[in-house]
Structure 1
Amino acid sequence: MKYHPIPNKLFIRNRHRLSNLLKPKSIAIFHSNDILPTNADGTLRLRQNSDLFYLSGIDQEESIVVLFPDAPDEKHREILFLRETNEHIAVWEGYKYTKEHAREVSGIQTVYWTRQFDTIIRTLIFEAEHIYLNANEHTRADIVVETREARFVQKYQSLYPLHKFERLAPLMHNLRAIKQEEELPLLQEAMRITEDGFRRLLSFVKPGVWEFEIEAELLHEFVRQRSKGFAYEPIIASGANACVLHYLANDQQCKAGDVILLDVAAEYANYNADLTRSIPVSGRYTPRQRQVYDAVHRVMKEATAMLVPGNLWDEYHYEVGKIMESELKGLGLISQHDIDNQDPDWPAYKKYFMHGTSHFLGLDVHDVGSKYRRFEPGMVFTCEPGIYIPEEGLGIRLENNILITEGGNIDMMASIPVDADEIETLMNA
């Protein structure tokens, strides 16, 4: 792996925390993600299942983690199944985990080959009453491809119809929402790499540069610092492109006088940063651009201040909406008449700020967690207000990553330039 080894005490603790949430006489089974095909004999790179990685640190295809805390045989209370390598695989694909290395990485002492899974599981499953299986239950997921875990759910329910089946997703969402002490440096490293990439751009961007050239500069910086690359598909949107929230083409030339919206960040060890900045192609904001930029920046600062223990998702977003309403009114984009006659389900400010302000961040960019759970220390959120004015060809979004603590919060991206004056100074140095 490109990233440095992660202390296995993180994975040992995560398994212990999950085991404490399982019902008596339960067995829990986690599968790695599939390596997805493209065309002909092509495949995509593996993106490991976040839950399996969270519990084991294993970053390889065809891996399975089994937890059976009440197993009569103590050695079967934690089991890792690995794809067995051979000389042919070694020649064509390179290194695969040995059992010894997998024990070192995961802290799981009982390791079998994946081909042994069906035989081993039959010796265990009849000692259990509950079978916990996993599924992608993210509220924003649009699942059109059957996953390895989905296939196994169907198979197990057919093979063992008299067992009681349980959902792992709610338990994993509960655990992963609170970051462990070993996770925070991994997130911080993703943010540090992201900062280096952003600072690199401040001296690179000028009129005439292409969006894809900016993408290439970032990728170079990210990969050379042990990142696999982008945490998500990069948005490098100049001019009116910035008003397309998920603009991914990155194929336009950046023109003098425009602003570039950069929603770009690195991953590190499967943990993700999430940064947005809006910088002037010519190195200086116009008065109107600066007016809108400063309005977004003020909303960002006030929203960040509300990311504290005890607050609730919907209440937080409602209050941010009121702040944005005031700023848009000051910019002349909405009027009091618009506010007085607005649809409560789609307030007037939504015309220019149509997305949420924050989401969970971690092993997934839009990480798992419940919007109905009050904010707690250890949660990490983005804070990303924006104003999009298609008629002016201008979109401004600013985004940092915020750690909630007992005493308030910590801006994990506080060192990344965001003040408009600082950005102009650095671009003209």
Structure 2
Amino acid sequence: MRHKTLQSKLFIENRAKLTSLLPKNSMAILNANDVLPTNADGSIKVIPNTDLFYLSGIEQEESILLLYPDAYEPKHREVLFLREPTEQLQIWEGTKLTQDRATEISGISNVKWLKDFPLTLRDCMLSADEVFLNTNEHRRAAAIVESRDDRFVRECKRDFPLHTYRRLALLLHQLRAVKSDLEIELIQQAVEITHKGFNRLLQYLKPGVTEFELEAELIHEYTKNRGAFAYTPIIASGKNACGLHYIDNDQVCQDGDLVLIDTGSNYGNYNSDMTRTIPVNGRFTKRQREVYDAVLRVMQASIDGAVAGKAPRDWHHESQLMMNEELQSLGLLTKEEVAQHTREKPACKKYFMHGLGHSLGLDVHDVAPGNASFAPGWVITVEPGIYLPDEGFAIRLENDILITKDGPIDLMKDIPVEADHIESIMQEASATS
């Protein structure tokens, strides 16, 4: 846990929101993520299960959360199960949570060891009418690898076949889409760390620098501020930027090229997500600037258009209509091509082929109800782009915004994005280096 201890109030409030949605005499059970293997005897650093973290603040492997708000026994209404920190375990794996420390983090008073789970589960299952179990229902999830939650669903149905089972993901998507003030503060902290990293990168960039050196500047600043990469960064110079998910980050940044930086810091498991496209030598060419300003206009208009009550698909379509006009002005689309635009076959798709944005929070592509309109408390990204492989460059710009009843708030408004501002920072850095 690199970040400072978060307020247990956040997790207490999140559990209260969930239990208020559970039917009478029902229970919910969530599992931590697996520790995933690499090769030989290696393993990937533990990535917390974001649903479990949302409800408890617990990041430790093998943890289980049981919620049964109407349990006859008060001790069964909230139970957290952990690996017991034996002397042997702590010698080989380091410090593990004590029961007192887990209570301090989560606000859950009844913390038990994993060996107590089977008996507690049976006791509660024999009293509950319905059981809510969790799976990964993100619409873009491949779900190829079986998770710890998936195995538990199978085992639970085997051991208690006559119970009524319900989907917990539907409730959690509804809740997690709307961020509380405490969550917004954590996202804003991640944004501020990203800002520091970007400022550091601007000071370092010049012709001859490699993409991985820019990545190193970012991780230096993120780590120094208790953050981490929210996702593998895209540091794509020249034509590399035309590959949407280019992550090789191993090429030299050439004089006259642009470099697309898609990065974000994570803080306290909450994420930020920023994209900037900047000139390697500190100056945009005339053509680069024309395309840059076109993308910036679409981003700024799309931020203004992200209002409560609007359907995400309508918001995206509005951006496509704006992009059509910009592409026509740039000589990339004809008037006739724009006139043939439909939702199914957008005229701009050759040059702007991806979505306009996504929910952001504990996951970079955060969960949200699939058929819901924007609502106050949603945090989303806004990321239009124009990709020109024939001209050897691409422009994408991305900010994170908070939707409120009074309109959108740009959480990245202080991070340089205007072309003149970026050029002035880079020219000043060049003069003092």
Q: TM-score, normalised by structure 1?
A: 0.98
Q: Is the 8 A contact 2:317 2:343 kept in 1?
A: no
Give the match for residue 26 of structure 1.
Answer: 26
Give the match for residue 65 of structure 2.
Answer: 65
Give the match for residue 13 of structure 2.
Answer: 13
Work out the CA distance in 1 between the residues paired with 2:373 and 2:143. Answer: 28
Q: Is the 8 A contact 1:309 1:404 kept in 2?
A: yes
Residue type at the aligned position of 1:48: P
Distance apart, 1:339 and its partner CA:
2.4
Distance apart, 1:346 and its partner CA:
2.2
Where 1:69 maps in the other structure, the secondary structure is coil
> 1:160-171 maps to which residues of 2 (within 5 A)?
160-171=160-171
Give the match for residue 193 of structure 2.
Answer: 193
Cα deviation, 1:191-216, whole Å, max 9, x if unaligned, reads 00000000001110010111111111
Residue type at the aligned position of 2:119: T
Give the match for residue 203 of structure 1.
Answer: 203
Give the match for residue 88 of structure 1.
Answer: 88
Cα deviation, 1:179-202, whole Å, max 9, x if unaligned, reads 011111110110000000000011
Cα deviation, 1:31-68, whole Å, max 9, x if unaligned, reads 00011000111000011000000000011001011000
Gaps of 5+ in 1: none
Work out the CA distance in 1 between the residues paired with 2:295 and 2:246. Answer: 20
Q: Is the 8 A contact 1:311 1:375 kept in 2?
A: yes
> 1:59-138 maps to which residues of 2 (within 5 A)?
59-138=59-138
Cα deviation, 1:358-409, whole Å, max 9, x if unaligned, reads 1100000000002421211111010100000110011100000000112111
1:339 and 2:338 equivalent? Answer: yes
Q: TM-score, normalised by structure 2?
A: 0.98
Q: Is the 8 A contact 2:328 2:338 kept in 1?
A: no
Give the match for residue 159 of structure 2.
Answer: 159
Gaps of 5+ in 2: 429-433
Q: Is the 8 A contact 1:313 1:371 kept in 2?
A: no
Work out the CA distance in 2 between the residues paired with 1:402 and 1:371. Answer: 19
Work out the CA distance in 2 between the residues paired with 1:207 and 1:23. Answer: 61
Work out the CA distance in 2 between the residues paired with 1:270 and 1:404. Answer: 21
Distance apart, 1:312 and its partner CA:
1.1
Give the match for residue 4 of structure 1.
Answer: 4
Residue type at the aligned position of 2:272: A
Work out the CA distance in 1 between the residues paired with 2:143 and 2:392. Answer: 34
Runs of 4+ aligned structure 1 residues displaced above 6 Å come to none
Work out the CA distance in 1 between the residues paired with 2:66 and 2:294. Answer: 51
Identity %: 52
Bigger mean CA deviation after superposition, 61-70 or 344-353 = 344-353
> 1:383-402 maps to which residues of 2 (within 5 A)?
383-402=382-401
Residue type at the aligned position of 2:53: F
Give the match for residue 246 of structure 1.
Answer: 245
Q: Aligned pair count?
A: 428
Where 1:203 maps in the other structure, the secondary structure is helix
Distance apart, 1:342 and its partner CA:
4.7
Work out the CA distance in 2 between the residues paired with 1:248 and 1:131. Answer: 42
Where 1:404 maps in the other structure, the secondary structure is strand
Work out the CA distance in 2 between the residues paired with 1:425 and 1:107. Answer: 49
Superposition RMSD in Å: 0.9
Cα deviation, 1:54-105, whole Å, max 9, x if unaligned, reads 0000110010110001101011100000111111121221111100011111
1:274 and 2:254 equivalent? Answer: no
Where 2:135 maps in the other structure, the secondary structure is coil
Work out the CA distance in 1 between the residues paired with 2:49 and 2:69. Answer: 22
Work out the CA distance in 2 between the residues paired with 1:340 and 1:174. Answer: 38
Cα deviation, 1:15-42, whole Å, max 9, x if unaligned, reads 0110111111111000000110001110
Work out the CA distance in 1 between the residues paired with 2:342 and 2:318. Answer: 17
Residue type at the aligned position of 1:265: G
> 1:346-365 maps to which residues of 2 (within 5 A)?
346-365=345-364
